[in-house]
Amino acid sequence: MSAQREIAIVAFHQSPCQASAGAANEVELIMPELRAVFDQVGLANAQDVDFVCSGSCDYLQGAAFAFVAGVDALGAVPPIRESHVEMDAAWALYEAVLKIRMGHADSALIYGFAKSSPGELPIVLSQQLDPYYLAPLWVDTVSLAALQARLMLDAGLITEGDMAEVVKRSRRNAMTNPLAQLAGETSVADLLAKPHYLSPLRRHDCCPVSDGAAAMIIATVEQAKAWGMPYVRLSGIDHRIESHNLCLRDLTDSVSTRKAAAAAGMNAGAVDVAELYAPFSHQEIILSRALGLGEDTRVNPSGGVLAGNLMMASGLSRIGEVFQRIVAGEAGRGVAHATNGPCLQQNLVAVLEAA
Amino acid sequence: MTDVDVLSEAFELGFTYTRSTGPVMGRFLTALRDKRIEGIRASDGRVIVPPMEYDPETAAALDEFVEVGQEGEVMSWCWVSEPRRAHPLQQPFAWAMIKLDGADVAMIHCIAATDEAALHTGARVKVRWADEPRGHISDIACFELAGVAP
């Protein structure tokens, strides 16, 4: 295994976070994103990359093997080498990285997509829980996050004001993000004056439901240079998972995030920017603390997923956001985080560096 | 505009196979049918309820069952003011992490209470059994505050 093959991110694009994509189907959400990344590199189609990997969730479409329909967006004739993860597309990126590092591909297209609006997302996601003890109760993901927030509040680790501060900063940062769904100036006092939704959470502590897709192209550094593309080095990527038994975990911390960050080499240098996949305000605080981020790091300059959450693609988008800021010269080194599962069960950390 | 006939057909997504719940989960669920709650002792001595098949630290198979109490303490909770249709209770209720007496690890279930103000972390709750237990997690219909008349 040639583990030393360096990975370059060369292109990224995501759709706007829309509360509802209307009549557009999943393929119609994916296709513009694929076209955008192909055009960024000057490729014709999926035939021009060695490997394709996608991330999505069949439960959101409500049919087994629904992800196969997404392949229609690729035009997979003649046959292509293609794979899929039933996870956020950040994990599809992870698979593609392994494929390139093993020398089985020199370039890869990654995409993630979901149209979450037609269903009742928190209830759909309840079915990812333990199938005997929790899924039959239909305990939803927002409620589980609320239990986590209460643990933090009771332990004095955060205040509701701290949570509102996260939301205020997200909304403000999102004002410069044209793809965001929720943006604007607000104040901690205004936010705290809002009623509880799922106490102790208020509605604004929870990310919105958004439809959309995102796509990325990665390659070996040699291939990126051959394409003549500006690129960003993906210097490290790692993911860790915690127990499915929520009551066995310390929900006020994210041990798996800290381990993934260490394994990805985050601590080898300064972190100018961090994009964290925190679907709930208190989770951004958990993640920032687990990663040890200080005042030198800009956290979620895009607004993060509190401003718009593309299920199955927001993790990949966190990596894409950091990629874009490094390419633009706004940052030299950054960290992107992705999560899957209830209460930050599984976490991926990627480290990106200017070439 | 004339009325348009909308074609519709019921569709139920399901996997129509059955499987055994095995010696650990199966024993727990069977005990629920008899209105008893059994946990399992992990390698570090902690009692986990509902029981896990494998030790969370060592991955060793676990088989030492321990009956635990039907009352416990609320470790965390949230108030569902607008229950969803799929939820087990249709009146406002709480989801909670409840550590049963004799257990070392909490379990997640729902609590029926009159309102949010009636609950607090550390509150004592007790099991309310379903009218006809059938060996399912919902045999615990919900928890309710201990010492409060239903």
Q: For chain A, which residues make up each domain, given as ranges?
A: 7-120+209-227, 125-205, 233-354
* Tokens 């403000």 found at: A172
List, for residues B136-150, the tens digit of each pLDDT value.
999 999 999 997 655
> Which residues from A are below 8 Å from B105, CB to CB?
245, 247-248
Average pLDDT of the segment spanning B27-32: 98
Query: Any idea what DSSP says for residue A280?
Result: B
Q: Kindly state the tokens that stand for A37.
A: 């990344």
What pLDDT digit, counting tens, does each position of A288-342 carry?
999 999 999 999 999 999 999 999 999 999 999 999 999 999 999 999 999 999 9
pLDDT band at B2 (very low <50, low <70, confident <90, very high): low
Q: What is the pLDDT of residue B149?
A: 57
What pLDDT does residue A328 have? 97
Whether residue B21 and residue A132 make contact (CB cut-off 8 A), yes or no, is yes
Residues 6 or more apart whose CB falls under 8 angstroms from that of A349 comprise: A236, A237, A238, A239, A257, A260, A261, A263, A264, A266, A291, A335, A336, A337
Q: Which helix (H) or strand (E) is A340 found in, with range? A: strand A333-340
Q: Give me the pLDDT at residue A301, please.
A: 98
Are A247 and B107 within 8 A, CB to CB? yes
CA distance readout (Å), A233 to A13, A40, A106, A189, B110? 17, 17, 14, 42, 48
Whole-angstrom distance, CA of residue A89 vs CA of residue A338: 9
Sign of CA dihedral A215, A221, A225, A226: negative
B136 to chain A: closest CA residue: A132
CATH code of the domain made up of A7-120+209-227: 3.40.47.10
**Chain A residues within 8 A of B53 when measuring between CB atoms:** none
Q: Does the pLDDT at position A26 exceed 80?
A: yes
- Judge whether A198 is closer than 8 Å to chain B, CB to CB: yes
A241 near B CB under 8 A? no
Class of domain A233-354: alpha beta
What percentage of residues in chain A have a pLDDT greater than 70?
99
Q: What residues pair up with A196 in beta bridges, in sequence order?
A: A202
Give exposure, B109-123, as e/b (b: 16+ Cβ within 10 Å).
bbbbbeebeebeeeb
In Å, the largest CA–CA distance within chain B is: 72
ipTM beyond 0.85?
A: yes
- Hey, are the CB atoms on B87 and A138 less than 8 Å from each other? yes
Do B137 and A136 count as a contact with CB atoms less than 8 A apart?
Answer: yes
Are B62 and B74 within 8 A, CB to CB?
Answer: no
The answer to whether residues A313 and A339 touch, using CB atoms and an 8 Å cutoff, is: no
Q: Is A136 on the interface with B (CB under 8 A)?
A: yes
User: Which of A120, A130, A248, A282 to mutate to test binding with chain B, by most B CBs within 10 Å of its CB?
Assistant: A248
From chain B, the residues in CB contact with A133 under 8 A are: 25, 50, 107-108, 137
